[in-house]
Amino acid sequence: MPLPRPRPGQLRWWVIGGLGIGAGVALAVWFGLASSAGQITWQTYGYKVLDDRTVRVTFDVTRAGGAPLTCRVRALASDFGTVGTVAVPVPAAPRDTSRHTTTVRTTSRAVTGEVTGCVPR
């Protein structure tokens, strides 16, 4: 079944509408990419509970230009309460992504460790 043809004089509005929708989509993509470019991101790679007072946390940090940062790492108990925190200085790096390991001293046994945030120094 062939598609119906637009009435005379209506094609122009279909073209204008299609271009408007295309421009709106392009603008939305641009805003989305611009808001996330250059952002500091972190990912907890792993953790190991060493004993009742210590957790070792390994994490990756991605930042533009390899700038120096300070990351906050915490240890959590089984009731999700924080039992230890440490501020980890992350030195400048030649690459944007780097892996770091730190030890968190705790007040009681922890069951996990995580990075809660990183900020520029």
Beta strands in the chain (DSSP E): 41-51, 54-62, 69-76, 82-90, 97-105, 112-120
Structural domain range at position 115:
41-120
Q: In whole angstroms, give the CA distance from residue 84 to residue 103.
A: 10
Asked whether 106 and 54 are in contact (CB, 8 A), the reply is yes
Other C-beta atoms lying within 10 Å of the C-beta of residue 74 = 20
Q: Which pTM does this prediction carry?
A: 0.71
Ramachandran quadrant class, 104 (left: phi over 0; alpha: psi -120 to 50; beta: rest)? beta
pLDDT averaged over the chain?
A: 90
Summarize pLDDT for 61-77 with one digit per residue, the tens. Answer: 998 887 899 999 999 99
Question: How many structural domains compose the chain?
Answer: 2
Check which CATH number belongs to the domain holding 70 and give it: 2.60.40
Same domain, 45 and 29: no
Summarize pLDDT for 24-52 with one digit per residue, the tens. Answer: 999 999 988 887 777 889 999 999 999 99
13: pLDDT strictly greater than 90: no
